[in-house]
Amino acid sequence: MAQAQIGIIGGSGLYKMNALKDIEEVQLSTPFGSPSDAVILGTLDETRVAFLARHGRNHTLLPSELPFRANIYAMKQLGVEYLISASAVGSLKEEVKPLDMVVPDQFIDRTKNRISTFFGEGVVAHIAFGDPVCHQLAGILAEAIASLNLPDVTLHRGGTYICMEGPAFSTKAESHLYRSWDATVIGMTNLPEAKLAREAEIAYATLALVTDYDCWHPNHDSVTVEMVIANLQRNATNAQKVIQETVRRLSQNPPPSEAHSALKYAILTRLDQAPAATKEKLHLLLQKYL
């Protein structure tokens, strides 16, 4: 099977990477169903990367409908060790303005209807998730953003991403509540992805692209999809530059990541006693530990 060490998941507004060369489109099937779309393998400068449009290339999947497990498993099948997620977010802080970029280091889970683990069916594992983002990958991403000096874009290193269920945006009461928790941005997708990436021992970091002030700001209209897309289109060119620069830096010096051994002390079940069918299903994740 084709391989790529670096994966990219593009969110709302980022449905393709324009700079990819020598493209190969692969339809993958996984024990968890099909991913959101075909994975696009292509070369960015000298480096082979795997790109997936999170909601499908025509944006046909709701956040609650996303096949998170299939998406992450597909990346694992391709040999991805570093996964960069690009996502549209609303801002929960005055100083985090639309068109700014945030590299969050924490998440709060407000989802209600997501499957966020590969485990179960006779194999129990509890990954550590106190630091849900790969520190090294997030650092490279932030350095890449800073190095580009993008006009009108302020970089915010660190911050908390609230992951809500959606698809409706928040009420004002919810938005104020999240502000009282000192959260930085809000979206609907990245937390399940980060958990599953960690279980799959893939280093994960988020490029959060601010599109709106959600609905809490007294001087800005409440978020609408129109607002999000208009700003994301303005963001998309910048996001592609950032991803390209991140891939360039990462491929020159891929860092060690704690994520790469996340399952080492996480599996409680004696694997020699575990159901064969589950071991078969999770072979890609468990093979190091069998």
Ligand X SMILES: Nc1ncnc2[nH]cnc12
Tokens of 251: 């491929």
Smallest distance from ligand X to CB 222, Å:
9
Show Cβ contacts of residue 114 under 8 Å, excluding neighbours closer than 6 positions.
64, 68, 165, 191, 192
Smallest distance from ligand X to CB 153, Å:
16
- DSSP of 201-230: T-EEEEEEEEEE-TTT-TTSPPP-HHHHHH
214 tagged catalytic: yes
Annotation-wise, does 236 bind a ligand?
no
Q: What is the DSSP letter of 254?
A: P
* Count, residues near ligand X per rule CB under 6 A: 13
Binders of ligand LNRAV4D5 among residues 222 to 261 (CB under 6 A) are 225, 228
With CB under 6 A as the contact rule, the residue among 6, 44, 88, 242 that binds ligand LNRAV4D5 is 88
Nearest to 20 by CA among 251, 243, 249, 252: 243
Show Cβ contacts of residue 17 under 8 Å, excluding neighbours closer than 6 positions.
8, 10, 40, 42, 44, 49, 51, 240, 243, 244
Annotation-wise, does 182 bind a ligand?
no
Q: What is the CA radius of gyration of the chain?
A: 18
Nearest to 262 by CA among 290, 238, 288: 288
Lay out the site mask for ligand LNRAV4D5 across 20-59 (x = CB under 6 A, - = otherwise).
Answer: ----------------------------------xx----
Catalytic-labelled residue, pool 152, 212, 221, 272? 212
Smallest distance from ligand LNRAV4D5 to CB 233, Å:
12
- Is 104 one of the binding residues for ligand LNRAV4D5 (CB under 6 A)? no
| Nearest residue (beta carbon) to ligand X | 90
Q: What is the DSSP letter of 160?
A: E
Smallest distance from ligand X to CB 102, Å:
12
User: Secondary structure of 232-247 in the HEC alphabet?
Assistant: HHHHHHHHHHHHHHHH
- The 10 Å Cβ neighbour count of residue 196 is 27
Residue at token pair 């179960």: 120
With CB under 6 A as the contact rule, the residue among 77, 87, 175, 231 that binds ligand LNRAV4D5 is 87
Nearer to ligand X, 24 or 165 (CB): 165
Smallest distance from ligand X to CB 233, Å:
13
Note the residues at the interface with ligand X (CB under 6 A). 88-90, 164, 169, 186-188, 211-212, 214, 223, 228
Note the residues at the interface with ligand LNRAV4D5 (CB under 6 A). 11-12, 54-55, 63, 87-88, 166, 187-189, 225, 228
- Which residues line the annotated binding site for phosphate? 12, 54-55, 87-88, 189
Catalytic residue numbers? 212, 214
